[in-house]
Every structure is written in structure tokens, then in C-alpha cells.
Amino acid sequence: PRKVVEELDPYVPGRSIDEIASEYGVELDKIIKLGSNENPMGPSPQAVKAIVENLNLINQYPESDLQGLVSEIAEYSGVSPENIIAGGDGADEILDVLGKTFMDEGDEFIVPLPSYMYYEFTLKIHGGVPVYARWDIEKNLLDVDSVLEAITPRTKFIFLCTPNNPTGGLIAKEDIERILEATEAIVVVDEAYFEFSEVNNVDLLKDHPNLFILRTFSKVMGLAGMRIGYGIASPDIIEYMYRVKPVFSITKLSQIAARATLNDEEYIRESTKLSIASREYLYQEISKFKTLRVFPSKSNYMLVDVHETGMKAKDLTTELMKRGVIVRDCTSFKGLDEYWIRVSVGTMEEDERFIGILKEVV
Ligand code: PMP
């Protein structure tokens, strides 16, 4: 392997329902998954219907020009189709294509810690060198100065996740603008969860050609398993990226499911509403635990400090998994020690069952 691959820390994703069922002998349909920030309502019924009706098309290659999907994403996002690139392994593929398109060996990229770990994982493979900035956990705010101070002539990307995964805090638009204006590097504003915060930064595109907004169908759109993500940026950036993006990466069924979901406005509205209500309920309930400290979130998950329980996140999450609950052990997130978990919102029933089980464990 290349040296970088030999030395690469593996990326640790959240645990799946099947893994927990076989590891702990819990019945599949009793498991509550609050570990991967998915849509607890399930997919849009319109998406399921569209997939079923089109199953016989899987002998054909998917459309490679993606015009139908791209124009509907553009409309949803309030931009033109030339501003959109869509990817077939979710937003993660878009990150990979950004790396392939723009990263030269030894270029730097800035990541505030803690944040989404896939930036570092994938950009390193393309020869990038991570430079760390800081997310202030206590204030749940980005430390903007730490980002500005990290900029050098070799900075190729700056990753700003808003709402931030795993802390749940937002980055103020003025702060994003300050960073955009301080550099010619591409500032990737990751809005994977923007629907839950009810704000976005697309308006900044007009004056800032170095802005790249990253989004996904895996969260409010309920299609994590179909693996569709997209980016919004200036036509120049988009055009270069299409030169290297794998042409058939978005399957026909994924395109069909994404379009059906975009057209199911009621589903998107209800999903957002449910997730916000569930977030507020879980926040209130977790706040009542004397040994847990939960942070206010603008997303569909929240960060919980478990130091006072005396249990490491690994042991606490294992106890929960034995009882059929999956939450995220944050030990693999750089910038956090071994005493943090992240809890995704569920349906109200799942939330209530989860709180009951949490009482047995802490
Ligand atoms: N960005 C953030 C902040 C995320 O949490 C995720 C999902 N874990 C992604 C991007 C990638 O999502 P996907 O590849 O499923 O589209």
C-alpha cells in the first residue's frame, strides 16, 4: 500500500442494528437505534413506492448526466443547476471528490475539533495534512480565531460543520463570512443537518466563490441507505469536480428515491417537526439526570458528557447495547476524551423507552 494508507487510522462508523442483535442476542425489532442521526420516521412512503415501481429498471445503467435530480436539488436549494454536484456515496463521496479534484500532496486542511471525523480520514488519503482548530465545547461555539490562526499559504480546505457534529452548535453567519474573507482556500460549510436548525448559508455564495456547501439525503430526507449527497458551489468548482466524479455512482433507484422525497414536502416538513420536538423532549429528560451534562443542540442529536457517572463511554454504551439501545460512543472523535456520548433523536416512543433504559444504567 501507499505509505499514507499504511499509516491511516481507520474510520469508525456508528454500530448497526444487525451487529448489536448478533453480538448481544437482542431481538432485531426491539432495538432502538439512536446512534447514527437517521430519520426516526423511516423513509418517505413516496420514495418507497417509487423504488418498488421502478425495480425492473436495475438492468440499466443509471443516468450519468443526473439532470432531473440536479435540477430538483437546485430548486430545493434556491440555486441554479450549474451550482450543484450530486454524489452516490452520500456527502462522503462529495468529500472524496473534493480531495481528488483539489488536493496536492502536502496541502493543508483545517478541521476544528471535535467535528465530523470523515474530513480528516478522506482528505489524508488524498495527501492532505490536517491542521487542527478548536470548537469550544463549553460555549458550544466555533473558536473562530483558532481557525484564522491556522490558515497558511498551503491551506486548501477549511471544514466548518454547522450544526456541528457531534456538539450540535451552530456557526454564526458573520463568522463564516470572516473566514471566507480571510482566505482563498475552499471553505466547506457542512450543512448535513441544516434543516433541523432552520437556517442555511446559501446566500453567501453570491459574494464568495470559495464557498462550498455540503449536504445529504441521509438525515431529514430519510435516505441514509440510498447514499446520496450533494454540494453547492460556484460553477467553476462544480465543473472541475465533475471531471473526476465516478459517472455512475448514483444508482437509478437512488435518483428515483431522492426525487420522490424532494417532492414529498409534507414528509420533509413532518420529519423536521418531529425531530425538533423529539430533540427538545430528550434534552429536557437527559437534563434531569444528576450525573449527565447535555448540551443544547440545533440538530437531530445531542452531545452528553458522562464524566460524572464514573463510566467510560465505551462501558456505558455497552450496557445500553445489552439492553437494546444504540447511542454513539464518541471515543473515536478527536478533541473529546473517553467520557462523551452522542444521542440521536428517535420517535417519541423510542425516546421514552430510551430514558427508561438509561435510568437502569446510570
Ligand atoms: N457530514 C456530517 C456532519 C455527517 O454527520 C455525515 C453523516 N454521518 C455526513 C456529512 C455524510 O453523510 P452521508 O455520507 O450519509 O451523506
Which pLDDT value is given to residue 305? Answer: 98
Which pLDDT value is given to residue 64? Answer: 83
Which has the closest alpha carbon to 344: 39, 43, 114, 37?
37
- The answer to whether residues 201 and 189 touch, using CB atoms and an 8 Å cutoff, is yes
Q: Cell numbers at residue 251, please? A: 444508482
pTM to 2 decimals? Answer: 0.97
CA atoms within 13 A on the CB side of 314: 5
Among protein residues, the one with the nearest Cα to ligand 1's atom 9 is: 91
Q: What contacts 203, CB < 8 A, 6 or more positions away?
A: none
Residue 66: left (phi > 0), alpha (psi -120 to 50), or beta?
Answer: left
Residue ranges around ligand 1 (CB below 6 Å): 90-92, 116, 161, 165, 190, 192, 216, 218, 224, 229
Which has the closest alpha carbon to 262: 222, 202, 205?
222
Residue 290 CA to ligand 1 center (angstroms) comes to 32
Q: What is the pLDDT along the chain (362 residues), one digit of tens a residue?
A: 999 999 999 998 999 999 999 999 999 999 999 999 999 999 999 999 999 999 999 999 998 889 999 999 999 999 999 999 999 999 999 999 999 999 999 999 999 999 999 999 999 999 999 999 999 999 999 999 999 999 999 999 999 999 999 999 999 999 999 999 999 999 999 999 999 999 999 999 999 999 999 999 999 999 999 999 999 999 999 999 999 999 999 999 999 999 999 999 999 999 999 999 999 999 999 999 999 999 999 999 999 999 999 999 999 999 999 999 999 999 999 999 999 999 999 999 999 999 999 999 99
Question: Which atom of ligand 1 lies at the shortest distance from residue 228's CA?
Answer: 16
Question: Which atom of ligand 1 lies at the shortest distance from residue 161's CA?
Answer: 3
Which residue reads 465516478 in cell numbers? Answer: 246
Q: Give the pairing of strands 84-87 and 229-232.
A: antiparallel
